[in-house]
Amino acid sequence: MEQHTLTVDQLYKEYTGEVNYKVLKGIDFQLKKNEFVAVMGPSGSGKTTFLNCISTIDRPTSGSIIINDKNPYNLNDEQLAKFRRNELGFIFQDFNLVHTLTVEENILLPLTLDEVDQTAMSRSLEEILQFLEITDIRQKRTFEISGGQKQRVAIARAVIHQPNLLLADEPTGNLDSKSANSVMQLFQSIQDHFETSLLMVTHDPYVASFAERVIFIQDGILYNEIHRSEKKQQFYQEIMDTLTFLGGGKHEF
């Protein structure tokens, strides 16, 4: 029987105010264990809200989200904080690093918050520094390193506790093409090395082509999905064709 890291069932999200706005309209989705899926869609389609609901940043209006057989929205605040630290890893476009800390201090933050034993922390740190090839910048402050290096540090912090689910929101948005390519290759290595499931929102079809599957959200519903074939160029073209059909160029997604 196939194992799923994430199961989303009839997910609805509505913002209320002077005018009520339905963002998500009954999305069903499953992410298999050790699967890499990209999420795409036009601006305002609901893809970021979808990710925010899964990451527990934004509470759904209705529906269920099950991550490793747990519904995080049934947990109290203390349990939820621990769940986030243990089960989830987060990577953002703007890195979200603490500028007053060194590279290695930033990376160790999740383990420090969990009061992990010093010996175990040191062992995990050395492994992740070597894996991401950033040992030489470990004592530098974040303002002393490049954008590509910052994203590697952010990735290291996100995976040092070996989460079951890694969530990324436009992780290459602030990077040049060379750094973006390097980061996406890292994602594939992380998937293999740590057996982590990855869910990534991106507007970039080239970045999305690194995933095994791409889902497309439009007007708050799951519009379509395509799977990677053996030929990456063919997969990229299928992504481009779908985006064109949805009505917009690369920079609108």
Per-residue model confidence as pLDDT tens digits over 16-47: 888 889 999 999 999 999 999 999 999 889 99
Q: How far apart are alpha carbons 122 and 116 in whole angstroms?
A: 10
Q: Which H or E run contains 37?
A: strand 36-40
CATH number at residue 19: 3.40.50.300
Region 106-112 average pLDDT: 92
Counted domains in the chain: 1
105: exposed, middle or buried (Cβ count in 10 Å: 0-12, 13-18, 19+) = middle
- Residue 136 belongs to some domain of the structure: no
pLDDT above 90 covers a percentage of the chain that reads 77
Region 84-106 average pLDDT: 91
- Residue 90 belongs to some domain of the structure: yes
- Residue 150 belongs to some domain of the structure: no
Region 162-166 average pLDDT: 94
Confidence of residue 252 (pLDDT cuts 50, 70, 90): very low
- Residue 75 belongs to some domain of the structure: yes
Q: How many Cβ atoms from other residues are within 10 Å of residue 251's Cβ?
A: 8
- Residue 195 belongs to some domain of the structure: yes
- Residue 138 belongs to some domain of the structure: no
- The predicted pLDDT at position 232 comes to 85
- Residue 124 belongs to some domain of the structure: no
> Above 80 in pLDDT, residue 1?
no
> Above 60 in pLDDT, residue 248?
no
118: exposed, middle or buried (Cβ count in 10 Å: 0-12, 13-18, 19+) = exposed
- Residue 102 belongs to some domain of the structure: no
Return mean pLDDT, the chain.
Answer: 92
Q: What is the extent of the structural domain holding 15?
A: 4-95+164-250
Q: Which residue has the higher pLDDT, 2 or 57?
A: 57
Do residues 97 and 142 touch, judged by C-beta distance below 8 A?
yes
> Above 60 in pLDDT, residue 251?
no
